[in-house]
Amino acid sequence: MNVGVTPPERQTTLRLNDGRSLAWSEWGPVDGLPVLFCTGAAMSGSLGFGADALADLGMRLLAIDRPGLGASTPHPQKTFASWVDDVRQLLTAHGLRGVTTVGFSQGAPFALALAGRGLVKAVAIVSGQDDLAWPSLAPLLHPDVAAMVRSARQDPAGFEQSFARMATPDGLWQLILGMSGERDRALYLSEPFGTAYQRALREGFSQGAQGYARDLVNALGPWLVEPEHIPVPVDLWYGGADTSTVHSPDFGATLATRLPHATHVLDPQEGGSILWTRARDILVRLRSHAGT
pLDDT class of 292 with cuts at 50, 70, 90? low
What is the rounded CA–CA span in Å between residue 77 and residue 264? 34
Q: In whole angstroms, give the CA distance from residue 101 to residue 84.
A: 12
Model pLDDT for residues 166-198, shown as the tens digit of each residue: 999 999 999 999 999 999 999 999 999 999 999
Task: Give residue-wise pLDDT tens across range 84-123.
Answer: 999 999 999 999 999 999 999 999 999 999 999 999 999 9
Confidence of residue 1 (pLDDT cuts 50, 70, 90): low
Cβ(11)–Cβ(78) under 8 Å? no
The tens digit of pLDDT for each residue in 118-158 reads 999 999 999 999 999 999 999 999 999 999 999 999 999 99
The whole-number pLDDT of residue 84 equals 98
> To 5 degrees, how large is the angle CA 78–CA 34–CA 106?
40
The tens digit of pLDDT for each residue in 11-68 reads 999 999 999 999 999 999 999 999 999 999 999 999 999 999 999 999 999 999 999 9
Q: pLDDT-derived band of residue 72, with 50, 70 and 90 as boundaries?
A: very high
Mean pLDDT for the chain overall: 97
For the stretch 204-255, pLDDT in tens is 999 999 999 999 999 999 999 999 999 999 999 999 999 999 999 999 999 9
> Where is pLDDT greater, at 76 or 1?
76
H or E, element range at 273? none
> Please, what are the domains in the chain?
10-289 (3.40.50.1820)
Higher pLDDT residue, 141 or 76?
141
DSSP annotation of 33 reads E
SS3 123: strand
Alpha helix stretches (DSSP H) within the chain: 51-57, 80-94, 108-116, 143-154, 156-166, 169-179, 182-188, 193-204, 210-220, 253-258, 274-277, 279-289
| Structure confidence by residue, pLDDT tens digits, 272-282 | 999 999 999 99
Its pTM surpasses 0.95: yes
